[in-house]
Amino acid sequence: MTLPNGPQTPAVVQMLQWVATPMSFMEDCAKRYGDIFSLQLNMPLVLVSNPQALQQILTSDTKEFAAPSDLNSMFEPMLGKNSVITVSGEIHKRQRQLLTPPFHGERMHNYAQTISNITQEVIQSWQVNQSINQPVCIRSAMQSITLRVIMQAVFGLYNGARAVELERVLSLMMDAGGNSPLRTLLLYYPVLQRDLGKLTPWGTFLRRREIVDKLIYAEIAERRENANPSRTDILSLLMAARDVNGEPMSDVELRDELLTLLTAGHETTATALTWAFYWIHKIPNVREKLIAELDSLGDELDLNTINKLPYLGAVCNETLRIYPVGMLTFPREVKEPVNLCGYDLEPGTYILGSIYLTHQREDIYPEPKQFKPERFLQRQFSPYEFLPFGGGVRRCIGNAFAMLEMKIVLATIMKQLELELVTTKDVRPRRRGLVTGPNQIINMVVKGLRGSTEVLTKSVTNV
């Protein structure tokens, strides 16, 4: 099989670079080989960052291309075999039909209030003029918010004893995927996934997963016993669903889908929010413009207004452009012989869209390393030039939900509190398991109060 050019170093060397420094590795390859190149990881993979080629792939990923499940099996230890991420074809299509509506349309109105309320709860414990020895760790705070929000959407609860325990163990489990390259290697090489006791990374992961599973199965069992047709959370919706043969989802299927939403739905948005707080407070001009826009609204902070704020939207977009949390799309497989960027690719070739490289293209984003929200006010980018949520048949289900959450959390906090960065060094992106995040902890302190909490809470009820 002829593949596009790429580094000739041994596969093991490429894998180490891929795990330790994926972004600079991709950038070096793009400089040398251009918009399309091949890497030899645990198998050959073609990376693409050309918008026309991405359009070709993502608009045809049920014909010339497919969104297979085999490479997504690396998610199985966590999400199981029945997750929307680990299935493909018709089953995948049906699961998406079930999961997409709760994250769009009318439902979003209810979530707006939940997001605002939970944000208020989390910031209640932040002290004004706190010593810089006891700063707020923005990532932990954002993770608390986004995990509670997604638990409310999925289960309709986030503050009972079971929910609190689930929040605690899930956070530990996600953090364990954290910064260590060794842990990332575990995901790529199933042969390394051995339970060598509770003090080893995989052993710890398995024990935490067991607790999470017990909590989720207990919730499912309780719901089966006390069915309540008036509930509108996602678990109730999934329990009411029937497949083509009229069969309901089994407990294992429900567990896999719930865990998928809980994990995909909180770490990503928490990381994006952490970056947003960093950039807003790193660049005074960005903070000033954002505050001016929020203040121009008075106390009228309803969902529609927040969603349409141009500068707030531009800040969120630029945050997701410069260091996209998901640096790649899920893999696509060539199904029929196809020409991509001048290369004839044969069936069986695996392709990844490089979201990171596309967002760093100088021809689309001049001075790509600079954080400039204004670029989103000056021109519109196509869905293949700006694609933080991927595209095609595996496009992120939580796209609209995540954008809404980012905007409400930022508006709620920025409207009330004056924050300052404690972290003064330049922060760079770094792999966190399969997503990317800041390479250091971002701490902030509250310098003062800007507005009244009460007014804000009341006005968001207008949604």
Q: What is the DSSP letter of 395?
A: -
Nearer to ligand HEM, 40 or 319 (CB): 319
Nearer to ligand HEM, 46 or 422 (CB): 46
Nearer to ligand HEM, 103 or 279 (CB): 103
Specify whether the CB–CB gap between 46 and 71 falls below 8 A. no
Nearer to ligand HEM, 135 or 388 (CB): 388
Which positions lie near ligand HEM, rule CB under 6 A? 84-85, 96, 103, 260-261, 264-265, 268-269, 272, 320, 325-326, 329-330, 388-392, 394-398, 401-402
Shortest Å, Cβ 11 to ligand HEM: 24
Cα 164 to Cα 158: distance, rounded to the nearest angstrom? 7
Nearer to ligand HEM, 38 or 263 (CB): 263
Helix (H) or strand (E) holding 352: strand 350-353
Burial of 277 (0-12, 13-18, 19+ CB in 10 A): buried
Shortest Å, Cβ 238 to ligand HEM: 13
Shortest Å, Cβ 257 to ligand HEM: 9
Nearer to ligand HEM, 183 or 266 (CB): 266
Shortest Å, Cβ 105 to ligand HEM: 14
Nearer to ligand HEM, 32 or 104 (CB): 104
Shortest Å, Cβ 269 to ligand HEM: 4
**Per-residue CA distances from 132 to 284, 362, 459 (Å):** 20, 38, 32
Burial of 83 (0-12, 13-18, 19+ CB in 10 A): buried
Nearer to ligand HEM, 144 or 459 (CB): 144
Shortest Å, Cβ 396 to ligand HEM: 3
Smallest Cα–Cα separation from 67: which of 343, 263, 352?
352
Nearer to ligand HEM, 84 or 312 (CB): 84
- Write out the two tokens for 324: 């996209």
Nearer to ligand HEM, 273 or 445 (CB): 273
Shortest Å, Cβ 184 to ligand HEM: 17
Helix (H) or strand (E) holding 362: none
Cα 408 to Cα 278: distance, rounded to the nearest angstrom? 17
Cα 356 to Cα 119: distance, rounded to the nearest angstrom? 29
Shortest Å, Cβ 322 to ligand HEM: 12
Shortest Å, Cβ 356 to ligand HEM: 10
* Beta bridge mates, 435: 432
- Write out the two tokens for 175: 């953090």
Shortest Å, Cβ 216 to ligand HEM: 16
- Write out the two tokens for 42: 């645990």
Cα 48 to Cα 355: distance, rounded to the nearest angstrom? 9
**Per-residue CA distances from 209 to 78, 155, 212 (Å):** 7, 18, 5
Which contacts (CB < 8 Å, 24+ apart) does range 250-256 have? 251/217, 251/220, 251/221, 252/80, 252/82, 253/82, 254/220, 255/80, 255/213, 255/216, 255/217, 255/220, 256/79, 256/80, 256/81, 256/82, 256/83, 256/86
Cα 330 to Cα 75: distance, rounded to the nearest angstrom? 11
The DSSP line for 201-252 is HHHHHHHHHHHHHHHHHHHHHHHHHT--TT--SHHHHHHH-B-TTSPBPPHH
